[in-house]
Structure 1
Amino acid sequence: MGLITGVCTFLYHLPQIYKWLLKPYYIASFFMTIAFVLIRKAPGLCEHLATQREDGNSCDFDWRELEILMFLSAIVMMKNRRAITLEQHIGNVFLFSKVANVILFFRLDIRLGILYLALCVAFVMTCKAPLYMGPEYIKYFSDKTIDEELQRDSRVTWIVEFYANWSSDCQSFASVFADLSLKYNCAGLRFGKVDIGRYGEVSQRYRVSTSPLAKQLPSVVLFQGGREIMRRPMVDTKGRAVSWTFNEENMIREFNLNELFQKSKKLNKSRGMKEEEQDNSQPEDGSNELYPDDNPEHPAESKKDQ
């Protein structure tokens, strides 16, 4: 049953996977993932490779290589249990396959191991994972605008994601946060993001560590009246994040988005009545551009505020 579910899931996401494979990052990652298999099975090349098989067949895996590949499969399955998006599943496969390839190549020939490791370093330095570019209703803050925006109107509740582009967890969460902004954004409930990998002062000011060991990226903080009300993940006394899964269900439940949205709609109505009164008293000034993004059907705030 699990196999059938996995196959159905794969077929459902096949168009999306095909679109990814057209991007250089995923093309290069795919070939680096299967590099050892290709070399071990390549006719004309595998005959010259070393092997520990009793039959001397250097074009088949020996028992130690099979053991490493089985261990890789187990690690990927364990890590993917906590993955929430298809990008995370594929990213885990790429990451741990490269680690396994490094071990396999060094074991086969130290020269091949050094060459593959150098390729991995060059890949990390020159090829970045594609960022989410889909529709969203998010205000991007800089170090100079975040404080002003959070304190501009005490009636507005802000949900702000602190992220860094180099973090794979932040990249995976980007589409989830964007979907939430499309569903819940209104005049009284706004969504924002700030790149603390770029603005280090903001990370210190809002106590969000960028260290990979702290595991605080991404961090989502709820602000009301410019004050922090809650954040996820929570941080223990040692400065490490308490394990928390960043999926849509947890975000809706923990941040009470449905309740906040209902309260925000009341704020929209009260603002509409005030604006109508102002329009009646001042008919010559009928334009209102204070909140151009009250209708989430037409996302407008999708560019970074530099």
Structure 2
Amino acid sequence: MVLWDSLIRFTAVEDSKTYWAALHLQTAPEVGLKVDGFPSIESLESGESSRSVTVKKLLAPTPDTTNPIYCIGLNYRNHAEEAKLAVPSCPPMWFKPAAALANHDEDIPFPPVAHTNFPDFEGELTVIIRGPIKSITKSEVKASILGYTIGNDLTARLFQDPKRTGGQYTYAKAFDAFAPLGPRLVHPSKFEPSAPNTVTTRVNGKVVQNSPLDFIFPVDELVSYVSQDVGTTVPNGSAIMTGTPAGVGWFQTPQSPLQDGDVVEVEIQPIGILRNKIVFEK
């Protein structure tokens, strides 16, 4: 039995505490909603008593904010083609630290070192794990997914340059708040992670990415691979960012695609629109 269509995690106006609440897919997740708040997903699913509260701030919809974030590269053929890179036989993977996690509608501080190293966007479907999991098969993946949300794999792109750093990705992508997630979590029974569903990224309203979810490695294969390849347990609440399609700034223009004050929106329906403002720190 499906107990919820989607979930939001938020702080409440009444007491500034963190709550979870169930939302129908037709209800937009937004500040000011009056909802039945629960202290955890477990209490919501078990039908424990709730409290009527008002959404003050939407938070990244993961039950554990201390986990590293699993990131996947080259998972769209159109992106591999624009980058002139061979389609890999196994998905490339790296990690963002827990400090990279950020919330919907939150300003993203870009440190000075990132200003001149091609700050870039990557709109991505993101999987949140109902775990822990380890060495699961593709057929076991669906039961191991808590839900789907949206992520933006923000990057200081020049630090990926093989001539400068040997081709490593972590430093370029691991700055604080470089992994905003949100605005809600959609139950896996309510969302199909494949075409014709699409991911669209906009910068100041201009569409810069628009692609069907046409993965090289589908979600079931990807999650199974991560659980095998890591060789350690993938904790409950872990986020797996599934890769970005064509259109990232590196391949569009020699100018940095993100500037101080830019607003980046990543849309995947029915999950919603993840929105963040870029702020260059002094």
TM-score category of the 2 structures, normalised to the smaller one = under 0.3
Q: Which has the larger radius of gyration?
A: 1
TM-score (ref. length: structure 2) = 0.25
TM-score (ref. length: structure 1) = 0.23
Higher strand share: 2
Higher helix share: 1
The structure showing larger relative contact order (alpha-carbon pairs under 8 Å, at least 6 residues apart) is: 2
